[in-house]
Amino acid sequence: MCCTPRFSAAWAMLALGLLAVPSGHLEAQQGRGDYRIRAIRTDIAPVLDGVLEEHVWGRGALIDELIQQEPIEGARATEDTEIHILYDAETLYIGVRAWERSDYGVVATEMRRDSDRILDEDNIQLIFDTFRDSRSGYMFVTNPLGAQLDQQVFNEGEGGASQFGFSSSNINRDWDGVWYTASRILDDGWVAEIAIPMVTLRFSDADQQSWGMNIMRNMGGKNEQAFWAPLSKEFTITRVSMAGVLDGMESLNRGMDLRVTPFVTGGGTSTLESSIEDNSWQRDAGLDLKYGLSAGMNLDLTINTDFAQAEVDDEQVNLTRFALFFPEKRDFFLENSGQFRIGSANPFNRYAELFFSRRIGLTRSGDNVPILGGARMTGKIGENDIAVMSVQTDEALGTAAENFSVAKFSRNFGRSRVGALFINKTDIDAFGDLANDTSYHNRTYAIDASFAPHPNFTIQGFVSATETSGLNAPVDDPATPVREDEGWGGMGSYINATWLDANWRIYGEYADFENDYNPEVGFLPRNGIRTSKWHIERNPRPDFWGIRVLSPMVNYIYTTDQTGLRLADRWHYMLGVRFDNGAFLNLWWNDNFDRVDRDFSLNDVVIPTGDYNFNEYRVSFDSNPSRRFYYGMMLAPQQFYGGDRFDTQGKIGARLTDRLSTEASWTRNDVSLPGGDFQVDLASIRVDLAISPTMAIRSITQYNSFVEQFSTSARFRWTYRPGSDVFIAYDELRRDPTDPLSAFTFRDRRLIVKATFLLTG
């Protein structure tokens, strides 16, 4: 089966790429010496107080020239910046003096950790490719108020900038490292001091360290970005293969490289069923352990895992017959998550993710299943990436106890790589014994590769097979009758080739998933298809009417079943306009065809089997999100399965002070179909209060008329010392599908307190 003609292109891609990787390796290493600085060792640690007047900073290595990427690529930054670099055996120190003499002044209103808004305002961004593998890195961002944002980067974020609100799945924003900042706003700019413990990072065990490094300053008022190691406009700071070099560090000390984090939780839950209120109390304890097996390898253990602090999912309305993608938000599954990833290249056109951690410990409806424990080993040995994880869940909510195991190996050749993945899901009891001889299992096997023979050209893809005992029902139709056969369940393949430079973004991709292809621990919206897509986008810079860049584009998607019968296609025409002031205008037209091969319903309105052609028009505008007051709006009239649909969306946000911000949004889908009419409203209000950079409250209240429910979620987090937190989480659901006016009667509420304490050795 693996050698059938439809998979020959994927296998040919793998073979051709293997021949090409040496040149990719050489390409990735060229140019890194153009920007090089040697860190200075200090015996006196600077005091982090937002003041750079200590004598020790004057001894540090100095970077005092940044080069613009936006708006004028290659020009010197319009504001002066001085960056001092020191280190001792246990800590890397960065001191930043950023002048701001323009009429805009310092733009800073955000104090919460990991907020997207930090990236819109004045900030300094640091990225370290500690292994110099041209692929991965640790990124740290701070602003004039001392707010922190940190993330792990894998595979360079797979290319350029995030697009249209979709972030790359190879950027792990939810990773929280232990590091320290102190900032201060001055009359003519701002100061930031940063301390990053060596134990927060992983790097090679060489006595002499040489890391890839880049630094970016964002000036929010004038929408200017400037780099130490310059990057052309199509790339972001995650492009570590083009970073400069930080060397000179030696005899670094990670201590015992052991971090133990015990935690305790307590709280109560109240539910209302059939007018009967049920109250329950809970208390629990658990342990997370992190141990450095070597400078490059890390072991994580979790016992009696608890995710009380995880944020709730944002409400989404599904007006399709395929599953929606919800991102992972649980800590244990986030760190080094990119090392387990094999999937499609574009997050806004997600064909497949072969490992989707939300399949572990969560039901399809999002309910929590108890996790008894898990182990994960991730890291690097030479040019090899190794990632292994095993997690055991308990029996609950009508599901059997299950064991999930996944192993991923990759061999790196500069910016290119080849790898293999194995995933096993098995029904197993809590004591580690197979439930019986006929216990259920599902397995996924895959080979993936990414080749970069040129800085602007990348080819990536995978070939995969699944094996399922008993049943191999199509993912999009779980009601399909059980088949009694057992064994290989089908194959899937995917390939993407992308050209990305300052003026053009061009790519083509192809995916083929057989009818019985069933990666149950992955995300696969639709199997039994072959689909192809090509995309052409131009980015001219007209320099009039305040326009910074235009993004006219056209793409085409064509999907068939396994016999070649056309199932769907779409022509997409779009014009994006990005202005100098940071605002964005988007115009598009879609020409759609969809073949519905079985009836399905939307809000109790049946869409009958048949062929449908419909057009979709959309206009949207978003103001600069770095302003204290910002807004966005969208209108989308369209035809829809023999009827009409009109989508409306609006949002408005305000950062009232540097501690308090709020945002309200509302979306309406007004649908008129031959089988009936309905309206769907989705509204939310967010309120964020940052008491300090280490103490914040976030609340979100959401209304979804599709399921006629109100939900409220509030999270308080106090990081009383780096790595140690107190969380107070409150969640409430109010719902009555038969009478929306009674939605203020609660159905479920929960209050949980969780405390963690980091012990290091």
Residue 180 counted as domain residue:
yes
What CATH number is associated with residue 50? Answer: 2.60.40.1190
Closest of 257, 281, 253 to residue 267, by C-alpha: 281
- Output the six-digit token pair for 316: 């989404």
The winner for highest mean pLDDT among 5-9, 367-371, 417-421 is 417-421
**Residue 55 host element (H or E):** helix 55-58
Whether residue 478 is contained in a domain is answered as: no
Number of domains the chain contains: 1
| Planar angle of CA 459, 20, 139, nearest 5 degrees | 55
pLDDT tens, 412-421? 887 888 999 9
Confidence at residue 308, expressed as pLDDT on a 0 to 100 scale: 63
In a domain, 136, yes or no: yes
Would the pLDDT of 30 be above 50?
A: no
**Ramachandran class of 275: left when φ > 0, alpha when ψ lies in -120 to 50, beta otherwise:** left
User: Mean pLDDT throughout 650-660?
Assistant: 89
Please give the pLDDT value at position 122. Answer: 94
Share of the chain above pLDDT 90, in %: 48
* Of residues 629, 632, 547, the one with CA closest to residue 581: 547
**Is pLDDT of 479 > 90?**
no
Residues found in the chain: 761
State residue 177's pLDDT score: 85
Give Rg (Cα) of the chain. Answer: 26
Residue 23 in this model has a pLDDT that exceeds 60: no
User: Does 277 fall in a domain?
Assistant: no
pLDDT level of residue 32 (50, 70, 90 thresholds): low
Residue 560 has pLDDT above 90, yes or no: yes
Confidence of residue 655 (pLDDT cuts 50, 70, 90): confident
pLDDT in the model for residue 9? 46
Give the model's pLDDT for residue 36: 94
Q: Are 642 and 674 in contact (CB under 8 A)?
A: yes
In a domain, 563, yes or no: no
Mean pLDDT, rounded, for 253-266: 87
Give the pLDDT confidence score for residue 436 in this predicted structure: 47
Residue 643 counted as domain residue: no
State the average pLDDT over residues 445-450: 95
530 pLDDT more than 60: yes
Environment class of 281 (CB within 10 Å of its CB; exposed 0-12, middle 13-18, buried 19+): exposed
What is the pLDDT averaged over residues 300-307? 84
- Report yes or no: 22 and 413 within 8 Å, Cβ to Cβ: yes
**Residue 532: is its pLDDT beyond 50?**
yes
Which pLDDT value is given to residue 276? 66
- Pairing verdict, β 123-129 and 208-219: antiparallel
DSSP secondary structure string, 252-306? ---TT-EEEEEEEEEEEEEEEETTEEEEEEEEEEEEEEEEESSSSEEEEEEEEE-
Torsion of CA 49, 51, 55, 59, to 10 degrees: 100
Q: How far is CA 531 from the centre of its chain?
A: 25
pLDDT mean over 430-445 = 65
| pLDDT higher than 50, residue 31 | no
How high is the pLDDT of residue 323? 65
Question: For residues 29 and 695, what is the distance between their CA atoms, to the nearest angstrom?
Answer: 42
Average pLDDT of the segment spanning 584-591 = 96
First vs last Cα of the chain: how many Å apart? 52
The token pair at 286 is 């658990």
Q: Is 498 among the domain residues? A: no
HSE toward the beta carbon, residue 758, CA cutoff 13 A: 17
Q: Is 726 inside any structural domain?
A: no
In this prediction, residue 728 has a pLDDT band, given cuts at 50, 70 and 90, of very high
Q: Say if strands 297-305 and 276-292 run parallel, antiparallel, or are unpaired.
A: antiparallel
- Whole-number pLDDT of residue 314: 62
Domain span holding position 177: 39-250
What would the mean pLDDT of 633-651 be, rounded to a whole number? 95
Distance CA 291, CA 726 (A): 23
What stretches of 583-634 show up as alpha helix (H) in DSSP? none
User: How would residue 179 be classed by pLDDT, with cut points 50, 70 and 90?
Assistant: very high
DSSP 15: H
pLDDT for 12 equals 47
Q: What is the mean pLDDT of residues 246-258?
A: 88
Backbone angles phi, psi at 198, to 5 degrees: -60, -30
Q: Is pLDDT above 70 for 79?
A: yes
Residue 115, pLDDT > 70, answer: yes
